[in-house]
Amino acid sequence: MAPNTNFQKALSWKDLSEMTIKESDNRQGPTNSYSLLRLFGQPQENVNVTLYRDNHAWCPYCQKVWLWLEWKRIPYRVKKVTMRCYGPKESSYLEKVPSGLLPALEFDEGIITESDEILLFLEKHFGPLGRPLQDPMSLELRFLERKLFRAWCIWLCSPSLIKKQESYRKEQFKKIAKEFEKRLKNKEGPFLDILPDNSGNSLPGSSDVIFIPFIERMNASLAYYKGFNLREEHPAINKWLTSLEKFDVYRGTQGDFHTHSHDLPPQMGGCYIDSNPQQKQYSIAIDQAIGLDEMEISLEYSEETNDPKPEIIALSRVVKHQKILKTINPIGPERFDQPLRAALTKMLVGHNCQPENGSALGLRYLRDRISVPRDMPLLAARKLRKALEDTAKLDGPDEGPMITTKDRFDQNPKPFRKELTQVDFP
């Protein structure tokens, strides 16, 4: 058989760098995971709020406060803290918050912890985001969110001894999810709160913000571990998520299925698989970068928006950190250089680039450790994961080191913090 010569030479780092874009204005522009200061048109000297959130944007309680501040447009600083599941907690933070719990909010000289207490404090000082949190309807919805959370945890995080037990837990979750759907259907607009913006369009309010983080994680984890399509089973929840995904505020904080499927086990004490054909199909698609399309996000990139292409965003993030990405890769910086450029070339121009022999392990190691939104937005990560997998297949079936479920010390941010010129934490 004649050798396949339909390969393109991998672009050089110089060529790749010329295709990157500058970072957007992280202080004034759309919601993003990189900014350490958000101003919303106000002068920096007016900022008296500091949000301490986890470095990787994995914490759902941090996301809740983050969303509230963004939709309310409260200027704030960000200080990023390591979660214990992926590294040691900073001593500077433990001096402020001895428990180490996240999130925390510093206002002038005071520290507030617990996400609900933080939101109540913010509402008191800056006014409500839609319906007040202590309104009877808001309290009812909060109780419903906790019911849904418990049903999810019992199904996801408890081993089922028999199939009947697994089915019961699934039905209990669906029953409470239908209660949430009923609440959504009884609203005039797409959200739980009726909150018009300056144009008269509906915006999410505090009740929506309280539900968002865990619905997002339910959608990902139940697909991966149970083979459950939340958006198909519950159309009103799908409609609500679709409405949320139109806002760059939400998309700037949104994680992807791969990130959540693998960051949840060490945070929650384990996630248990219900092995069935759909579960196998979904988990393979998530792990191998095939993806689950609209189950994950309803939007596709449109050139009409004039936004940078997802491929260019992904390229820019990789080029920025390419030295450390090569250094920490298990096959070593020299051996990983050409395969990484080959994958980026594939992503950008669509042509296969034969990676050097023995590189599949390194390519799949990176594929599995892209974190959304920490590293890049969801659609950008989708493009990069696929290019890494497509290039790895040209070399062979070797997988990278397994992703552990007891901890994620493979995601320790320390190497990247040394690399950055702008330090995240004092």
Q: What is the mean pLDDT of residues 182-210?
A: 84
Residue 261 lies in a domain: yes
Residue 28 lies in a domain: no
Could you give the number of structural domains in the chain?
Answer: 3
- The answer on 42 and 183 residing in a single domain is no
Residue 9 lies in a domain: no
Q: What is the mean pLDDT of residues 55-76?
A: 97
pLDDT at residue 25 tops 60: yes
- The answer on 140 and 122 residing in a single domain is no
pLDDT at 415: 84
Give the DSSP letter of residue 12. P
- The answer on 371 and 249 residing in a single domain is no
Average pLDDT along the chain: 93
Reported as a pLDDT band with limits 50, 70 and 90, residue 196 is low
- The answer on 153 and 111 residing in a single domain is no
- The answer on 140 and 189 residing in a single domain is yes
Which CATH number does the domain housing residue 105 bear?
3.40.30.10
- The answer on 375 and 288 residing in a single domain is no
pLDDT at 424: 37
Which residues, other chains included, contact 167 with Cβ-Cβ below 8 Å and sequence gap of 6+? none
Phi and psi torsions of 66, nearest 5°: -55, -50
Counted residue by residue, the chain has a size of: 426
- Rounded CA Rg of the chain: 22
pTM: 0.93
CA 248 to chain centre: 13
> Vertex 130, ends 125 and 135: CA angle to 5°?
80
Residue 346 lies in a domain: yes
Tokens standing for 302? 């449109």
DSSP for 303-368, written as a single string: GGG-PPPHHHHHHHHHHHTHHHHHHHSTT-HHHHHHHHHHHHHHHHH----PPPTT-HHHHHHHHT
The sign of the torsion formed by the CA atoms of 164, 169, 175, 177 equals negative
pLDDT at residue 358 tops 80: yes
- The answer on 160 and 100 residing in a single domain is no
Which CATH number does the domain housing residue 141 bear?
1.20.1050.10
pLDDT at 109: 74
Instruction: Count CA atoms closer than 13 A to 69's CA, side-chain side.
Output: 32
The domain boundary residue, chosen from 108, 126, 144:
126
Residue 1 lies in a domain: no
Nearest to 274 by CA among 405, 408, 164, 172: 164
- The answer on 180 and 47 residing in a single domain is no
Asked if omega into 43 is within 30° of 0 (cis), the reply is no
Residue 50 lies in a domain: yes
**Percent of the residues in the chain that have a pLDDT greater than 70, as a whole number:** 95
Q: Which residue range(s) make up the domain with 344? A: 307-419
pLDDT at 200: 62
Work out whether strand 202-203 and strand 195-196 pair parallel, antiparallel, or are unpaired.
Answer: antiparallel
Tokens standing for 6? 């339909």
- Beta carbons of 249 and 32 less than 8 angstroms apart: no
pLDDT tens, position by position, 123-165: 999 999 999 999 999 999 999 999 999 999 999 999 998 999 9
Range with the poorest average pLDDT among 12-16, 162-166, 419-423: 419-423
Q: Tokens 């409609």 identify what position?
A: 239
Beta bridge partners of 53: 80
Work out whether strand 49-54 and strand 76-81 pair parallel, antiparallel, or are unpaired.
Answer: parallel
Q: Within a 10 A sphere around the Cβ of 424, how many other Cβ atoms?
A: 17
Residue 6 lies in a domain: no
Q: Within a 10 A sphere around the Cβ of 319, how many other Cβ atoms?
A: 17
Measured distance CA(338)–CA(354) in Å, rounded: 9
The domain boundary residue, chosen from 107, 126, 145:
126
pLDDT at 271: 97
